[in-house]
Amino acid sequence: MSHDTDLVQADRGQDAISIHLVARDGFDNWVKKLSAGQRAALTAQKFTGGGYEVGIVPDGDSWFAVGGVADPASLSSWCMAKLAESLPAGTYRLASGEPGPALHGWQLAQYRFDRYRKDDEPTGPRVLLTGEAKAIEPALAEARAVCLVRDLVNTPAEDMGPAALEAECEALAKAHGAKLSVTKGDALEQGFPMVHAVGRAAARHHAPRLMHLTWGKESDPVLALVGKGVCFDSGGLDVKSAAGMLLMKKDMGGAAHAIALAGLVMGAGLPVRLHLIVPAVENAISANSFRPGDVLRSRKGLTVEIGNTDAEGRLILGDALALASEHGPDLVIDFATLTGAARVALGPDYPALMTRRDETAADLIAAGKAHDDEPWRLPLPEAYIEWLKSDVADTNNAHANAFAGASVAGLFLDKFVGEGVDWAHFDTFAWRPAAKPGRPKGGEAYGLRAAFHMLRQRYGNR
């Protein structure tokens, strides 16, 4: 995505190439208005008005574009993304109507992760004009937030370790006048013992730490955002397979979501007292790795028997959620690439959502549906809490059977959230395994827009 050109700009009547949007069922009537030559051009391009189809139509000395969408009167976030991917550099406007939600996909279709490999023949920016001036800045901010998640997740673990996540939090604090405190070393071992235990085997330059950013008036309701920052996950001594380890640079995807969401909250000036909490570790293998069967003490005081060292994300989140609960939060939201079970159940596109309160789940789901970022609720069943029982500690971090892995992980986290606290947990994939228009293969934000728009509705009108 171009960082030096806003890909969405105000329509002030400047020169622009027209884009006509048509649906398959309206294509025959629409095409009758064209000349024989124009119809022939579309026939040659096999354009029929199907979704994501793109056509170029000659028009005297110029040309216009046509895109196939499900319903030109009701656009989604993604229905113009293929146009943005396919059209040449230039400035465009819709022949009729406003792009509205499609501003989002238009920008994200132009995202490229080029930190390590530049495009030999890059296409210049495709700028889309809109007459809805108030929609521009929010659309730009949301697209930048998604691109931040993509960039952080796509970056390999050696370049996106705990120190790099700390640098991202520093940059965020500086940009918004927030306060950042970072806990590491002996203070981490004392104050956040599970974060320390998980991260202690990593190389010194990837030493574990916990970032805590605060922003906003202390009199405003407290919103805590927590993100799992496992910068690489070998599985620890319960080592992953080669295939299971290959994508583990993305295991800090929860932290990426929380950091991006915090930026959106501050950028929108929501009237909240924000706490962003990011525990950052590498789950490495070394002589001082924590072991299966070890019993860890937690910040909350609960003791945790380690049934599996590859269930480490919930350990660092446990300490972080305990910290979040100490500040009298009105709402806590955490993001984590927590379980394979959630992906087995829901696939990559639907983040699993677990909440204590039905109304919080309903608000998040409604916001997600409205912005093409729908989470899917999974339960937190009390009947399964017994699966986390330990013979020697207050709880185990893993359960022996293969049932309900996502929900049982959620139940573990629930033990560390303060009593009565309104809490939502996103078990998100943070990765797109196959490209779709506007959504390349690689790091991806799932649940980010759902959460942000829910927060805007909840706090924006105070």
- Angle between helix axes 136-154 and 253-267 (nearest 10 degrees) is 160
User: Is residue 134 flagged as an active site residue?
Assistant: no
Q: Which amino acid is at 24?
A: R
The rounded distance, in Å, linking the Cα atoms of 186 and 292 is 23
Concerning whether 249 is annotated as a catalytic residue, the answer is no
Say which of 93, 150, 209, 314 is annotated catalytic. 314
Q: For residues 353 and 364, what is the distance between their CA atoms, to the nearest angstrom? A: 9
Kindly name the residue from 39, 240, 356, 377 that is annotated as catalytic: 240
Active site residues per annotation: 240, 314
